Amino acid sequence: MPNSFDALATSVFKTTTAVMGYDAYWSPSFLPIPVLYARVHFKSPTLKERQILEMERVDFKSDDTIVEYLEPDFPNLEDSANRGGLESLEVEGVMYDVRSVIKKWDGRTYWAICVKK
């Protein structure tokens, strides 16, 4: 039986991606299936933002471009990317190579660490 926290977390994720999320597309390199679509959270700091963080000496300095998605959205992206598969995500019309995928603490949220093509 799912607990109420899981349902609430999914509801919050879907609400935030609906309001301020981004359209993302993935065409798996290992399967002849159509392109998969999901609304995702997306973080890609600009050069100016990185310079400001550097000047302010902020402890959390992330240059990574991160696409955050829920478990059912891109099945097997984690396995393929972490085994060296050549996976790419398109976010708002820009293509990114997926370097690795990290499963977050809740076990259902993933971070795809990407590099712009």
Domain count, the chain: 1
Least confident span in 49-53, 84-88, 113-117? 49-53
- For residues 111-115, give the mean pLDDT: 93
Please identify which residue in the block is written with the tokens 């973080």.
43
Q: Which residues, 6+ apart, have CB-to-CB distance to 48 below 8 Å?
A: none
DSSP states of 59-70 as a string? S-----EEEEEE
Give the range of the structural domain holding residue 74, as residue numbers without chain letter. 4-116
Percent helix, percent strand, percent coil in the chain, to nearest 5: 30, 35, 35
As separate numbers, helices (DSSP H) first and strands (DSSP E) second, the chain gives 3, 6
Token duo for residue 37: 């679509």
Q: For residue 105, what pLDDT is reported? A: 85
Q: Which H helix or E strand runs over 80?
A: helix 77-82
pLDDT digits (tens, 9 = 90+) for 14-38: 999 999 999 999 989 877 778 999 9
